[in-house]
């Protein structure tokens, strides 16, 4: 059984499902006013890996992820560019899906848009006012968090300590700096909707609670996002459900930070400025590999060097596909993901080990290390003329890599044998400090169309 860390308790607990065999999950999606950044990519990959693993084990998954298409940033961007908010939102939503498709992130089953849910949000705000947990000010409607049982659960802090740490409130009408906007009163030139409590637009925290409960129902299984969303966004979503007396998410999952090139993100340092930029310059599978190489709650560092290193590891998987003539199991499945039975003769011990790793709070680094051991074992078996045994291990490795969303590629984009030979030769030349030879080999690789990088584990090449 899958055990996951639950932010609400700070412990790793079994994922107890609302109904047997079915998983309902909500993951906060993008606010579409700019190119997706690298942190968005990690978050999407982490929850894609979780979703793929649930599917792999035979569970039925209902995955919902929203698009915030009205917000301060979108309004500001539209004003800067002399465009309408829907134009800005449509453009950056398209860029978002381009990046997600390139990463091999499965599309959500439902993608609710905030602007399509305004009526439901108005109804919720009206009800919270009627219950006396919300109050009106001259600029909108706020939730009074002092009335919410257990406020601070996801911050893992009491209301008192949150209050002590809160910024000084500029808005004198707010009862507490922790109170948050459910509804923002209309301003000149901004998109707005009519409501009994005044024309305006919904707050972000109201959007997610309304859409998740509408599409997944009370007490859905899992709510996720980056760790920066736990407080205040998720706390505030939960507060509204509590005020309504509705059971909310049973389990809270948050992934760790991304560090891009140390403390600073800079083009001049050769690091990646956006996810779109990264995907233009590297094999998208390398970013996934880099993400699964670390535990989802640990920080990861994304630099040209760590990406090139991941591309090198990917090269080992692709080399396996070439030697054993393995195809792309994800594409072959016809459903976009693999399940355990897709390779009927897969090694049972390796499958059991994979499940043990993944059930242990998604130990993807351990699972990946096991996959690379299978790769080595497959080559050794084939070297010892056990073609059949080698092939079975290779197919098992391909299945487990595919379960993490990593398809193997024997063909285009993959490192061919000639390139692999030049890379090995160059690493040997560098080891022998024959830098003239190493430089000549680099030139040969560049002439073949490769970008060559020196990484801690040797030469890495990518298109
Ligand atoms: Zn959200």
The 10s digit of each residue's pLDDT in 116-150 is 999 999 999 999 999 999 999 999 999 999 999 99
User: For 309-333, how does the pLDDT look when each residue is reduced to its tens digit (9 = 90+)?
Assistant: 999 999 999 999 999 999 899 999 9
Q: What's the 253 CA to ligand 1 centre distance in angstroms?
A: 13
Task: Kindly give the distance from the C-alpha atom of residue 65 to the centroid of ligand 1, in angstroms, as a whole number.
Answer: 8
Q: Which residue has the tokens 């560049």?
A: 446
The pLDDT of residue 414 is above 70: no
Residue-averaged pLDDT of the chain: 93
106-124 per-residue burial string, b: 16 or more CB within 10 A, e: under 16: bebeebbbbbebbebbbeb
Please give the distance, rounded to the nearest whole angstrom, from the Cα atom of residue 223 to the centre of ligand 1.
Answer: 9
Q: Say if CB 218 and CB 246 are below 8 A apart.
A: yes
Instruction: Examine the pLDDT at 266 and tell me if it is beyond 50.
Output: no
Neighbours of ion ligand 1 (CB under 5 A): 28, 208
| 289 confidence band (pLDDT: 50, 70, 90) | very high
Question: How far is the C-alpha of 208 from the C-alpha of 92, rounded, in Å?
Answer: 19
Residues 357-413 have pLDDT tens digits of 999 999 999 999 999 999 999 999 999 999 999 999 999 999 999 999 999 998 755
CA 242 from chain centre, in angstroms, equals 27
State percent of the chain over pLDDT 70. Answer: 95
What number of other Cβ atoms are within 10 A of residue 231's Cβ? 18
pLDDT at 294 over 50: yes
Q: What is the pLDDT of residue 457?
A: 65
Taking CB atoms within 8 Å and a gap of at least 24, the contacts of 329-333 are 329/398, 329/399, 329/402, 329/407, 329/408, 330/104, 330/402, 330/405, 330/407, 331/407, 333/402
Residue 415 confidence (pLDDT) = 67
How many Cα neighbours within 13 Å face the side chain of 271? Answer: 17
Taking the C-alpha atoms of residue 183 and residue 201, their distance in angstroms, rounded to an integer, is 6
Q: Are 243 and 8 in contact (CB under 8 A)?
A: no
Which of 302-311, 415-424, 440-449 bottoms out in mean pLDDT, i.e. has the lowest? Answer: 415-424
Q: Are 255 and 41 in contact (CB under 8 A)?
A: no
How many angstroms is it from 286 CA to the middle of ligand 1? 28
Q: Compute, in angstroms, the gap from residue 247 CA to the centroid of ligand 1.
A: 17
Range of lowest pLDDT (67-81, 166-180, 234-248, 342-356): 166-180
**How far is ligand 1, taken at its centre, from the CA of residue 266, in Å?**
29
Compute, in angstroms, the gap from residue 29 CA to the centroid of ligand 1: 7
CA-wise closest residue to 347 among 380, 396, 302, 300: 396
DSSP annotation of 231 reads I
The band of 167, judged by pLDDT with boundaries at 50, 70 and 90, is: confident
Taking the centre of ligand 1 as the mean of its atom positions, its distance from the CA of residue 236, in whole angstroms, is: 10
Q: What does the pLDDT average to over 167-180?
A: 86
pLDDT tens profile 179-237: 999 999 999 989 999 999 999 999 999 999 999 999 999 999 999 999 999 999 999 99
Parallel, antiparallel, or unpaired: how do β-strands 134-137 and 140-143 relate? Answer: antiparallel
Report pLDDT for 268.
Answer: 43
pTM: 0.89
d(CA 240, ligand 1 centre) in Å: 13
Residue 461 CA to ligand 1 center (angstroms) comes to 38
Query: What is the band of 271 on the pLDDT scale with cuts at 50, 70, 90?
Result: low
Distance (Å) from CA 233 to ligand 1 centroid: 7
> Cα of 256 to ligand 1 centre, how many Å?
17
Angstrom CA distances, 208 to 12, 203, 249, stand at: 25, 10, 12
234-248, 262-276, 413-427, range with the lowest pLDDT = 262-276
What is the model's pLDDT at position 412? 57
CB 48 within 8 A of CB 405: yes
């Amino acid at each position: 059984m899958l055990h996951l860390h639950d932010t609400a308790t700070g412990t790793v607990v079994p994922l107890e499902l609302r109904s047997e065999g079915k998983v309902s999950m909500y993951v906060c999606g993008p606010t579409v006013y700019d190119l997706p950044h690298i942190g968005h990519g990690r978050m999407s990959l982490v929850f894609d890996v979780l979703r793929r693993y649930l599917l792999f084990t035979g569970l039925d998954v209902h995955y919902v992820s929203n698009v915030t298409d009205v917000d301060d940033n979108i309004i500001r961007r539209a004003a800067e560019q002399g465009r309408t908010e829907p134009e800005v939102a449509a453009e950056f939503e398209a860029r978002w899906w381009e990046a997600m498709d390139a990463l091999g992130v499965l599309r959500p089953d439902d993608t609710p848009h905030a602007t399509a849910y305004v009526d439901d949000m108005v109804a919720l705000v009206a009800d919270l006012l009627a219950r006396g947990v919300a109050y009106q000010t001259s600029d909108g409607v706020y939730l009074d968090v002092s009335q919410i049982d257990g406020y601070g659960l996801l911050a893992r802090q009491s209301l008192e300590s949150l209050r002590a740490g809160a910024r000084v409130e500029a808005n004198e009408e707010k009862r507490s700096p922790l109170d948050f906007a459910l509804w923002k009163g209309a301003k000149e030139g901004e998109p707005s909707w009519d409501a009994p409590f005044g024309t305006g637009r919904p707050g972000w925290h109201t959007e997610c609670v309304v859409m998740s409960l509408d599409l997944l129902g009370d007490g859905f299984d899992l709510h996720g996002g980056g760790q920066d969303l736990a407080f205040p966004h998720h706390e505030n979503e939960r507060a509204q459900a509590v005020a309504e007396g509705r059971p909310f998410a049973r389990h809270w999952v948050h992934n760790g930070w991304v560090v891009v090139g140390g403390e600073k993100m800079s083009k001049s340092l050769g690091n990646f400025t956006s996810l779109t930029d990264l995907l233009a310059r590297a094999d998208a599978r390398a970013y996934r590999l880099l993400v699964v190489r670390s535990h989802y709650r640990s920080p990861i560092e994304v630099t040209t060097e760590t990406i090139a290193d991941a591309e090198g590891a990917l090269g080992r998987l692709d080399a396996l596909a070439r030697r054993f003539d393995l195809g792309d199991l994800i594409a072959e499945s016809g459903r976009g993901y693999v399940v355990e039975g897709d390779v009927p003769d897969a090694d049972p011990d390796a499958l059991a080990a994979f499940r043990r790793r993944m059930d242990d709070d998604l130990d993807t680094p351990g699972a990946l290390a096991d996959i690379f051991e299978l790769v080595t074992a497959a080559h050794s078996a084939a070297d010892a003329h056990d073609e059949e045994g080698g092939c079975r291990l290779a197919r098992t490795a391909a299945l487990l890599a595919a379960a993490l969303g990593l398809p193997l590629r024997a063909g285009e984009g993959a490192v061919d044998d000639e390139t692999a030979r030049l890379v090995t030769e160059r690493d040997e030349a560098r080891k022998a400090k024959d830098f003239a030879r190493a430089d000549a080999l680099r030139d040969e690789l560049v002439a073949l169309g490769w970008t060559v990088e020196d990484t801690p584990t040797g030469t890495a090449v990518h298109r």
